[in-house]
Chain A
């Protein structure tokens, strides 16, 4: 069974930093592209970042470019998101998502999410 478990969320002051982790199991992690997606309270879904299976191709949404860094450790079956210069508007539930196996970019599996609150 595919499982994605995010951790690391919490309360951070504006301008602070935090790192999120996503532990993957139930599939060959090193074979799949991964992404981070967030959802602000009462709002829609927002894609943040993508990383290829090997980690050599990375993309970011403009809203987080230069502040957030996606990475992965295939030996540890883990995906990461380092977030710096956090803003109040970064408050959201953060999901890690695994790409599908077929043609096209789609998120076949999602974690349960971890809540980040940015507030003073």
Chain B
């Protein structure tokens, strides 16, 4: 059972906008920044969003992140087939003194 809670699956059709939620607590999301990682099948994770809403160079602006209180969200607009992947939220937990991940959300592009 993961410290951060994500829905196990999400889906959308090409061109749609989808959101993936990430729920935590005051010791992690509530007091620290949230990051999102994308893991394409058979590959290593890749940083998608850092510090709640910042995109690394090369990440399309179709991807956006937000945080409110003890929850965060990843939004993907203009969904494309290549967005089919697993998405993980993560952040520092001050009580556990470590990084905590969500369980991951498998995104299917229908």
Contacts and interface: CB of A to CB of B under 8 A. Distances in A.
The size bracket of the interface on B is: 20 to 34
B108 interface: no
A78 B98 CA distance: 22
Given A105-B91, A106-B51, A61 B2 contact: no
A110 B43 CA distance: 10
B30 interface: no
Given A35-B99, A45-B101, A100-B50, A106 B35 contact: yes
Contacts of B39: 45
Given A44-B101, A47-B98, A60-B98, A102 B50 contact: yes
A106 B50 contact: yes
A59 B45 CA distance: 21
B101 A102 contact: no
Nearest to A97: B45
B88 A107 contact: no
The size bracket of the interface on A is: 20 to 34
Nearest to A108: B47
A103 B90 contact: no
Interface of A: 35, 37, 44-47, 50, 59-62, 95, 100, 102-113
13 contacts: A37-B45, A44-B102, A47-B99, A59-B97, A62-B96, A100-B47, A104-B35, A105-B32, A106-B35, A106-B90, A107-B47, A111-B44, A113-B44
Interface of B: 2, 32-33, 35, 37, 39, 44-47, 50-51, 54, 56, 86, 88, 90-92, 96-104
In the complex, the 6 A-B pairs of residues with the closest C-beta atoms, listed nearest first: A104-B33, A47-B99, A106-B35, A44-B104, A106-B50, A105-B92
